Amino acid sequence: MDPLSALQKFREYFERYVPLTDEEWQALSHYLTVDTLKKKKFYVEAGKVCDHIGLVVKGAVRYYHVKDGEEITGYFSFEDEMLSSYKSFLTRTPAANYIQALEDSVIVNLSHKGLQQACMNELLGFKMERFGRLTAEHYLICYEERITAFITQSPEERYSDLLQTGGEALYRIPQHYIANYLGITPVSLSRIRRRIMKISA
Amino acid sequence: MDPLSALQKFREYFERYVPLTDEEWQALSHYLTVDTLKKKKFYVEAGKVCDHIGLVVKGAVRYYHVKDGEEITGYFSFEDEMLSSYKSFLTRTPAANYIQALEDSVIVNLSHKGLQQACMNELLGFKMERFGRLTAEHYLICYEERITAFITQSPEERYSDLLQTGGEALYRIPQHYIANYLGITPVSLSRIRRRIMKISA
DNA sequence: TCAAAACGTTAACAAAAGATAACGAATTTC
DNA sequence: GAAATTCGTTATCTTTTGTTAACGTTTTGA
């Protein structure tokens, strides 16, 4: 993936929230970098401050925590999704989680400093602020729904729903990561799968 | 609680995120209403669009879903916290949940239309946008942490943590609501409480 | 004020999930 | 291309949770 079409993808993503003039885009793109992240490499590591926010233009990453020496995967970002350890990025405190590339990936990054400068930019400030609000709102809604699922649904229901809504991206993820995502063990997910198989068979 | 000091509380809350001149506050307060919500009355009902966002100035509310005829409590807002059925408010779609007063409450409200007007207001627009972003980010972080707890912790750990961080507000809430909040049944929470009692005794 | 409803706990049993280990298959790595 | 690792499933056993029902207590509301 060449840098120019990567940047173009970022522009398309941004303009889904806030339209830009060519001049504004010119100014904004100044603050962006196009980076590659090889499989298994880290976008963020626990204990370090996450200094950027990015858009996955190609590839996929997983978010995970380490508890009692075990990795627990909590989330994924695929093409056309933002990624960051949001709390760390927003509050400038050390991240509690790792973000690691599941595949060779291409990411368009905006550093914390770059974002600050873009927000102070006469031309861009208002639109950056608006983009930030809409992005935060978007994830707020996603998280709200996920919490609701934890409270109102059984693991089996959560998995069934995920199968319906998850799309093909699901098949790129190892089962035991999905189990973590659902809040259960891999062994338990395997049993749920067998139960569902029998019903639908 | 008189309306003026209720509004003053809203200003203080707002200025924790974005400072205002007296003139700006004058303009903003124009869009606000001070409402009372008697115990058991609804701030929002499932199926209806949530048309406002508010600040709890006095009292407390609970958020709940109804599934298979059962109420499942997912969240609470106490004094000095915002409340809204965010997804419904932001996307103008019917709410999936109820919000009900746990106590007689006083709420400073901003309607969707009021917010829009405030955002278009020459004087206020930028600051409203910024307040919206910071508020969304605040809840984003809260939700992120709650999801992490579901994934990485047992119900017992979640309850222990809640006891430490929850403060006195916890004692105003019936146990079975807390059980729902933790994603378990009231019976299960009762057992967890007994286990913890025995350990600390 | 008094009956009704709501609440928290406990018991008994069923169902589900966690922990651990084993196994072959697939994938990775050198 | 061979050895090592990872992965998904299954089995066994233990622990936890869910379900239902009962009970005394507190709170609510007419």
Per residue of chain A (201 residues), give pLDDT as tens. 787 799 999 999 999 999 999 999 999 999 999 999 999 999 999 999 999 999 999 999 999 999 988 999 999 999 999 999 999 999 999 999 999 999 999 999 999 999 999 999 988 999 999 999 999 999 999 999 999 999 999 999 999 999 988 778 888 899 999 999 999 999 999 999 999 876 665
Domains along chain A? Answer: 3-121 (2.60.120.10)
Q: Is A162 on the interface with B (CB under 8 A)?
A: no
| Residue B48 neighbours by CB under 8 Å, 6+ apart | B94, B95
Asked if B125's CB is within 8 angstroms of A129's CB, the reply is: no
- Determine the pLDDT at residue A100: 95
The confidence score (pLDDT) of residue B177 equals 96
Strand order of the β-sheet with A52-58 is A32-37, A105-111, A52-58, A81-83
Interface residue B152 vs chain A (CB under 8 A): yes
Token duo for residue B167: 């403060």
**Nearest DNA or RNA nucleotide to B190 (CA to C1'):** C9
- How much is the pLDDT for A199? 60
Contact flag B143-A145 (C-beta cutoff 8 Å) = no
A151 touches chain B (CB under 8 A): yes
N-to-C CA span, chain A: 42
Scanning every strand, the nucleotide with its C1' closest to A197's CA turns out to be D9
Residues within a 7 A CB radius of strand C: A 40, 154-156, 183-185, 187-188, 191-192; B 174-176, 186-187, 189-191, 193-194
Nucleotides of strand D under 7 angstroms from a protein beta carbon: 6-12, 16-21, 29
How far, CA to CA in Å, does A28 sit from each of A22, A25, A114, A115, A117? 10, 5, 9, 9, 10
Query: In this complex, do A74 and B147 lie within 8 Å of one another by their Cβ atoms?
Result: yes
Query: Which residues of chain B fall below pLDDT 50?
Result: none
Distance from the A101 Cα atom to the nearest Cα atom in chain B, whole angstroms: 20
- By C-alpha to C1' distance, D20 is nearest to B187
Instruction: Produce one character per residue of B24-37: b if its CB has 16 or more CB atoms within 10 Å, e if not.
Output: bbebbbebbbbbbb
- The label of the residue with tokens 């709420």 reads B107
- Alpha-carbon span A34 to A54, nearest angstrom: 9
Does residue A112 sit at the B interface (CB-CB below 8 Å)? no
Nearest Cα to Cα of residue B149 among B164, B134, B137: B164
pLDDT at B200: 62
A125 vs B contacts (CB less than 8 Å): 126
- φ and ψ at B77, to 5 degrees? -130, 130
**A10 CA to C30 C1' distance (Å):** 38
Query: φ and ψ at B44, to 5 degrees?
Result: -145, 150
Which amino acid belongs to residue B140?
A: L
Nearest residue of chain B to residue A183 (CA atoms)? B151
Task: For A90-99, give one letter per residue: b (16+ CB within 10 A) or e.
Answer: beeeebbbbb
Matching residue, tokens 């007296």 = B22
Å between B1 CA and nearest CA of chain A: 32
